[in-house]
Amino acid sequence: MEPVEYFNRLPQRASFDRCYILDPMIATGGTASAAIELVRDLQVPKIIFVTVCVSRPGLEAIQEHFGEKNVIIYAAAIDEEVNAAGAVVPGLGDVSSRLYSTVE
């Protein structure tokens, strides 16, 4: 349940003052925090994270890590828990499996 960076095409320097990060679901907050950190390293002054569903523990982890450091999170739903496998409960299921039809 640790984020792994396997693809990054961000510029060396930011020529913009606002960045939107889109992810359909935030479970533990680890991947979201890593993505936010990558953008913060570019010294982007305002980061807006947009998600469909976030778990309360994931949201709290991001807030604890970044506080009020110009990170805004918009979520359509907040689910209360994450299970032992790191999935949001009840959540939406495995989003990538749904998008790429990897599970029948």
Q: What is the mean pLDDT of residues 5-9?
A: 90
Residue 104 has pLDDT above 90, yes or no: no
Residue 81 has pLDDT above 90, yes or no: yes
In this structure, what token pair is assigned to residue 86? Answer: 């790191």
To the nearest 10°, the Cα dihedral for 96, 16, 58, 34? 80
CATH of segment(s) 18-85? 3.40.50.2020
Mean pLDDT lowest among 33-37, 39-43, 51-55, 99-103: 99-103
**Dihedral of alpha carbons 34, 35, 40, 42, sign:** positive
Chain mean pLDDT for the chain: 89
Write down the domain spans for the chain: 18-85
Cβ–Cβ < 8 Å for 53, 76: yes
| Number of Cα atoms under 13 Å in the Cβ half of residue 17 | 0
**What pLDDT, on a 0 to 100 scale, did the predictor assign at position 74?**
97
Residue 67 has pLDDT above 70, yes or no: yes
